[in-house]
Amino acid sequence: VQYVYRFGGGTAEGKVDQKNLLGGKGANLAEMASIGLPVPPGFTISTEMCTRYYEEGERFPDSLREEVAAGIAHIEQVTGKKFGDAADPLLVSVRSGARVSMPGMMDTVLNLGLNDRTVEGLAAASGDARFAWDSYRRFIQMYADVVLELDHGAFEEALEIAKEDRGYTLDTELSADDLRALVDEYKGLVEQQWGKPFPQDEHDQLWGAVGAVFGSWQSDRAKVYRRLNDIPADWGTAVNVQAMVFGNMGDTSATGVAFTRDPSKGDRAYYGEFLINAQGEDVVAGIRTPQYLTRAAREEAGAKPASMEEALPEVFTELAGVFDRLETHYRDMQDIEFTVQQGKLWMLQTRSGKRTAKAALKIAVDMANEGLITREEAVARVDPQALDQLLHPTLDPEAKRDVLTKGLPASPGAASGEAVFDADTAERHAAEGKSVILIRTETSPEDIHGMHAAKGILTARGGMTSHAAVVARGMGRPCVSGAGSISIDAKAKVMRVAGREVKEGDTVTIDGSTGEVMAGAVATIQPELAGDFGTLMEWADEVRRLKVRANAETPADCQVARDFGAEGVGLCRTEHMFFEATRITAVRQMILAEDETGRRAALDRLLPEQRSDFAAIFEVMAGLPVTVRLLDPPLHEFLPHEEAEFAEVASAAGIAVDQLKRRAAELHEFNPMLGHRGCRLGVTYPEIYEMQARAIFEAAVDVAEKSGEAPIPEVMIPLVATKRELDLMKAVVDQAAKGVFSERGREIDYLVGTMIELPRAALKAGEIAETGEFFSFGTNDLTQTTLGVSRDDAARFLGAYVEKGIYAKDPFVSLDVDGVGELVRLAAERGRATRGDIKLGICGEHGGDPASIAFCEEVGLDYVSASPYRVPIARLAAAQAAL
Ligand code: PEP
Ligand code: MG
């Protein structure tokens, strides 16, 4: 097996489509090298090696040594330098690179190959002793941290003391001699903490670094990141070893990160940051505030330090050419790292850039309009889940704002919450159901869990490409970064800004679209659904086969759903109507009635209420089908709890409180989920379903008479297990319809169907379809009953099940395709065999989950039904499933 793949010097052994093998970074370095872009030569050790490394107890096979030696020889040949050469040494970087980027999660070592001899060679060859000793100093510090895992605080402290002793404030004030002394001190620290001297042999250094990068795949923070982002542990990481290029060799050297388009808003403009005379991680770490790439961006921000376009015009022009080349080659927005070494441009990385949902939409639509990609590709490019970010409120521009300061608009959206100053507190308070804003001087990968728990993130330092900004955009959290006028005392849990104090627990609001930071909460408004969003949705609708409906039971929800493009109601849960304060007494009276006469008296009072509910929904959904499900939950859910409630019901029903309580006790069930609910209510008390059916048809006739357009009711019977149940219930519904139609002298088309939410119903679907005119898969209950896992108790143990890989995802969120899915598939087949044109849909929570929607497409359902806010997500997911 080949484990090492070389690139650079005009050739490459790897290709861009080998991301699984070479990792994203390695595959793209190979690709850039092969299209002739300036890439420092190097080689990639494949992800297969990572897997094997762990299989063999964290050891490397002998064959790898030969391959790595050949890789080093390749770099030596292209650069004309020798690894370990005391006169002019080859230095390399060692970086991780998984299949998908995991920003800041794993380890990097730079300047590898420096030792007490080669540092002198570097000084002589570069003619810059300060640069050489600074590189050695950085190398020891990084190596001690990443490879030897020593306490990095001690090294930082030594650096601070070195500056303080000499009265300096900046690192750059340290002279070559100062740095030489610091190197001695660092070596002392290594020996003291590690018990051995700092490794002088460049090959030992290399193997140490390679091992550390593979080792970082199993670090705690990488594990957390993988869990949050559904990245399997067995993917492994690749290791990239590459000739060093230096952005810190004076004023014609620089290093930067850039996007070929604005990753926040999506505008077509080069977008990025760079630092003159700086090395690699300085930009991302947010230690120095970076300079803008273009003059326009600098002027817009009102910033002083020259942009790259102004400071290094020739290299900038070359870079702009590379950007265009990369976009046409990759046909996507690219996120780039580059270094300029004494006027020469080097590309260190390219990858598809992470972007906000807003930018993803704009870029996809723009690129399709530019002819760079097709409309189908544009549809495929946008992550349906990410639309969530756009479907939620932003700050009301009319609302009063108490602006404390302004930072960078690092990730859009607005959020209010309690100020917290560390990740653990953020996580704890969020778990208690509070909204929190995490406020940090700058974030690091250790803060990931807190960022995830927070509603928004605010940092005092760092640019648009700082860790906080990149991670927040990926998570869809609003973020304001680099709010420089804030000073944060994390220990005292307070931030000071503009002469004011914000303490832990005080409410603050951030607007990640403008960068504003405000005291208190600020009102929000609904999102704009036209523009790029509307365009992409239209394109999605052109390719989508599945219809998308909504689960909604109020006219307001129905209106939201319709605005979001719902093509009907897939589930109107009528019990939700029973909870209304104005009718709960009548509902309780109905439930607690001793006999049919008592029940009918209460039902007569509910009928007009239900009728007007349905009429309002039919009006909003005019011309579209509305699936109304008859009463489902166990009756005890509606029972009174408080004395006053009992008294009220007793007096309304004209019976004694004691008698009422006795009746309530009789209704107690040991396992209500499997108890007297669903059609079992209709079987035992047909008058309930009769009333509901009558209300539906009366409302339908009312609306038809009023508007001239008849609604399309689909009456749905819940929790059916047998054909006989459905036969009985359908007879009740048909009887009611007949009665209403003859009374009113008008007929309305309607369907009667059933939910498939019990395994027996799925198995006997062929028979049930003789009566049922449609099926709607109630995958919440079907999951519960197939897995034998209670919907309401699953949270206690399902987390462990997902962690241990028993289920890939929470089966109540994403359909268990192998198990529950098989029942769905089978029921669809058997139902269709009986009734060729049977209408099939899904109305469990899975109807809004993209992976489950892909499955629904595969088995050929007619529609999915999701909560109103998920309707656009479902439309896009359905389109992607059809592509
Ligand atoms: C279901 O069981 O999937 C369903 C939609 O019904 P409910 O969630 O109301 O039980
Ligand atoms: Mg159900």
CA 571 to ligand 1 center in whole angstroms: 9
Give the CA dihedral 637, 642, 648, 653, nearest 10 degrees: 50
Q: Is residue 280 part of a domain?
A: yes
- Rounded Cα distance between 573 and 111, Å, is 64
The pLDDT value recorded for residue 375 is 97
**For residues 128 and 341, what is the distance between their CA atoms, to the nearest angstrom?**
14
* pLDDT above 90: residue 537: yes
pLDDT digit string (tens) for 115-141?
Answer: 999 999 999 999 999 999 999 999 999
Domain final residue pick, 493, 510, 525: 525
Q: Does 622 reside within a domain?
A: yes
The closest ligand to the CA of 777 turns out to be 1
Q: Is residue 558 part of a domain?
A: yes
Residues 546/570, Cβ–Cβ less than 8 Å: no
Ligand 1 atom with least separation from CA of 571: 5
Tell whether pTM > 0.90.
no
**If you average pLDDT over each of 337-341, 552-556, 559-563, which comes out highest?**
337-341
Three-class DSSP category at 755: strand
Burial class (CB in 10 A: 0-12, 13-18, 19+), 559: middle
Q: Is residue 107 part of a domain?
A: yes
Query: Would 136 be classed as within a structural domain?
Result: yes
Residue % of the chain over a pLDDT of 90: 71
Q: CA-to-CA distance for 14 and 20, rounded, in angstroms? A: 11
Answer yes or no: is pLDDT of 534 > 70: yes
Distance CA 787, CA 822 (A): 12
757 appears as a binding residue in the annotation: yes
Cα 760 to ligand 2 centre (Å): 14
Please check the confidence at residue 5 and state whether its pLDDT lies above 70: yes
In this predicted structure, what is the pLDDT of residue 117? 97
- 429 counts as catalytic: no
- What is the domain-level CATH number for residue 191? 1.20.80.30
More confident residue, 49 or 583: 49
- Give the tens place of pLDDT for each residue, 437-457: 999 998 887 788 899 899 999
> What does the block give as tokens for 692?
């509901």
Per-residue model confidence (pLDDT) at position 581:
67
pLDDT in tens, 516-528: 999 999 987 767 7
Contact yes or no for 449/224 (Cβ under 8 A):
yes
- 775 vs 839: CA distance, rounded Å: 6
Q: How far is CA 566 from CA 252, 618, 712, in A?
A: 57, 14, 15
Q: Read off the pLDDT of residues 710-741 as tens digits, 9 standing for 90 and up.
A: 999 999 999 999 999 999 999 999 999 999 99
Number of domains the chain contains? 4
Q: Could you identify the atom of ligand 1 that is nearest to the CA of residue 781? A: 2
What is the position in ligand 1's atom list of the atom closest to the CA of 846?
3
Q: Is residue 666 part of a domain?
A: no
Residues linked to residue 12 through DSSP beta bridges, in sequence order: 7
**Site to substitute for ligand 1 among 574, 630, 632, most atoms within 8 A of C-beta:** 632
Q: So what's the pLDDT on residue 319?
A: 96
Query: Is residue 324 domain-shared with residue 339, that is, in the same domain?
Result: yes
Which domain does 540 fall in, by range? 531-574+607-632+684-882
Res 592: pLDDT:
84
pLDDT one-digit tens code per residue, 177-189: 999 999 999 999 9
The reply to whether 203 and 298 lie within a common domain is no
Counting ligands in written order, which one lies closest to the CA of residue 852? 1
Distance 778 CA to ligand 2 centre (A): 5
Are 813 and 850 part of one and the same domain? yes
Q: What is the mean pLDDT of the segment spanning 289-310?
A: 90
CATH number at residue 336: 3.30.470.20
pLDDT at 276 over 90: yes
Question: Which residue lies with its CA nearest to atom 4 of ligand 1?
Answer: 778
The pLDDT-based confidence of 593 (bands split at 50, 70, 90) is confident
**Residue 319: partners with Cβ closer than 8 Å, 6 or more residues away:** 258, 308, 338, 345
Identify whether 762 is part of a domain: yes
Name the percent of the chain lying above pLDDT 70.
98
Where a domain ends, among 333, 355, 377?
355
Could you tell me if 93 and 180 lie in one domain?
yes
CA of 720, nearest ligand number: 2
What's the CA-to-centroid distance between 777 and ligand 1, angstroms? 9
Q: Quick one: pLDDT band at residue 32, thresholds 50, 70, 90? A: very high
Q: Which of 99-113, 146-160, 213-227 has the highest mean pLDDT?
A: 146-160
The torsion angles phi and psi of 698, rounded to 5 degrees, stand at -65, -40
Do 469 and 509 lie in one domain? The reply is yes
pLDDT score of 102: 81
ipTM: 0.99
- For residue 778, which atom of ligand 1 is closest to its CA? 3
Q: Please check the confidence at residue 703 and state whether its pLDDT lies above 90.
A: yes
Nearest to 625 by CA among 675, 550, 676, 573: 550
Q: Which of 74, 429, 449, 467 is catalytic?
A: 467
At residue 746, does pLDDT exceed 70? yes
Contact 518, 402 (CB under 8 A): yes
Q: Please name which ligand lies nearest the alpha carbon of 571.
A: 1
DSSP tag of 286: T
Which among 549, 553, 573, 754 is the best mutation to test ligand 1's pocket, defined by most ligand atoms within 8 Å of the CB? 573
Q: Give the model's pLDDT for residue 476.
A: 67
For all residues of the chain together, what is the average pLDDT? 92
Report pLDDT for 449: 84
Task: Assess whether 119 and 133 both reside in one domain.
Answer: yes
Q: Say whether 629 counts as a known binding-site residue.
A: yes
Annotated ligand binding at 623? The verdict is no
Contacts of 607 by beta carbon, 8 Å cutoff, 6+ apart? 691, 694, 695
Q: In what order do the strands lie in the sheet with 92-98?
A: 11-12, 4-8, 42-45, 237-243, 92-98, 108-112
Nearest-10 Cα torsion for 771, 775, 780, 784:
40
Please report, as a single letter, which amino acid is at residue 284: V
**Same-domain status, 458 and 338:** no
CATH number, domain containing residue 744: 3.20.20.60
Annotated catalytic residue within 479, 843, 846, 856? 843
State the pLDDT at residue 432. 86
Determine whether 491 is exposed, middle or buried from the number of CB atoms within 10 Å of its CB (0-12, 13-18, 19+).
exposed
Residues 6+ apart with CB under 8 A from 491: none
Ligand 1 centroid to Cα of residue 745, in Å, is: 35
- Whether the pLDDT of residue 749 is over 90: the answer is yes
Q: What does the pLDDT read at residue 865?
A: 97
Residue nearest to atom 6 of ligand 1 (CA): 778
User: 473 vs 78, which has greater pLDDT?
Assistant: 78
Q: How many CA atoms lie within 13 A of 186 on its CB side?
A: 31
Among 111-115, 541-545, 638-642, 851-855, the minimum mean pLDDT is found in: 638-642
* pLDDT reported for residue 793: 81
> What span, in angstroms and rounded, lies between the C-alpha atoms of 399 and 427?
29
Atom of ligand 1 nearest to the CA of 780: 3
pLDDT of res. 779: 96
Q: What residue owns the CA closest to ligand 1's atom 9?
A: 573
My answer on whether 239 and 260 are in the same domain is no
**What is the per-residue pLDDT for 284?**
59
Nearest CA among 437, 296, 410 for reference residue 354 = 410
**What distance in Å separates the CA atoms of residue 863 and residue 842, rounded to the nearest whole number?**
7
Same domain for 616 and 757?
yes
Q: How far apart are the first and last CA of the chain?
A: 36
Atom of ligand 1 nearest to the CA of 757: 2
Nearest ligand, measured from the Cα of 575:
1
The annotation status of 573 as a binding-site residue, yes or no, is yes
Laid out side by side, the sheet with 456-459 consists of 402-406, 516-519, 507-511, 414-420, 436-440, 456-459, 479-481, 408-411
For ligand 1, atom 10, the nearest C-alpha belongs to 781
Residue 763, C-beta contacts closer than 8 angstroms, at least 6 positions apart: 823, 826, 827, 830
Strand partners, 756: 777
- Antiparallel, parallel or unpaired: β 89-90 and 524-525: unpaired
Q: How far is the CA of 590 from the centre of ligand 2 (A)?
A: 22
Q: What is the pLDDT of residues 840-861, one digit of tens each?
A: 999 998 999 999 999 999 999 9
Greatest mean pLDDT among 286-295, 474-483, 593-602 lies in: 593-602
**Model pLDDT, residue 105:** 67
pLDDT for residue 649 = 83
Give me ligand 1 centre to Cα 608, in Å: 26
Determine the average pLDDT of the residues in 390-395: 76
Pocket test of ligand 1: the residue of 673, 756, 781, 823 to mutate, having most ligand atoms within 8 Å of its CB, is 781
Residue 423: partners with Cβ closer than 8 Å, 6 or more residues away: 438, 446, 447, 448, 449, 450, 451, 453
- The domain boundary residue, chosen from 221, 243, 265: 243
Q: Is 779 annotated as a binding residue?
A: yes
The answer, yes or no, to whether residue 796 has pLDDT greater than 80, is: no
Top-ranked range on mean pLDDT: pick from 393-407, 460-474, 594-608? 594-608
Span from the CA of 782 to the centroid of ligand 2 (angstroms): 8
Determine the pLDDT at residue 764: 98
Q: What is the pLDDT of residues 138-162, one digit of tens each?
A: 999 999 999 999 998 899 999 999 9
The residue to mutate among 578, 756, 782, 843, having the most atoms of ligand 1 within 8 angstroms of its beta carbon, is 843
Residues having CB within 6 Å of any atom of ligand 1: 571, 573, 632, 757, 778-781, 843-844
Kindly state whether residues 312 and 296 are assigned to the same domain: yes
Residue 554: how many CB atoms within 10 A of its CB? Answer: 16
Domain CATH number, residue 518: 3.50.30.10
One-letter amino acid at 405 equals: T
Mean pLDDT of 689-696: 97
576 as an active site residue: the answer is no
Within-domain flag for 741:
yes
pLDDT of residue 668: 87
Dist. CA 741–CA 750, nearest whole Å: 12
CA 477 to chain centre: 9
**Residue in 825, 830, 828 with CA at minimum distance from that of residue 766:** 830
Q: Do 262 and 400 fall within a single domain? A: no
Helix (H, G, I), strand (E, B) or coil at 214: helix
What DSSP letter does each residue of 133-145 carry, written as one string?
Answer: HHHHHHHHHHHHH
Nearest to 417 by CA among 512, 513, 286: 512
Q: Are residues 209 and 278 in the same domain?
A: no
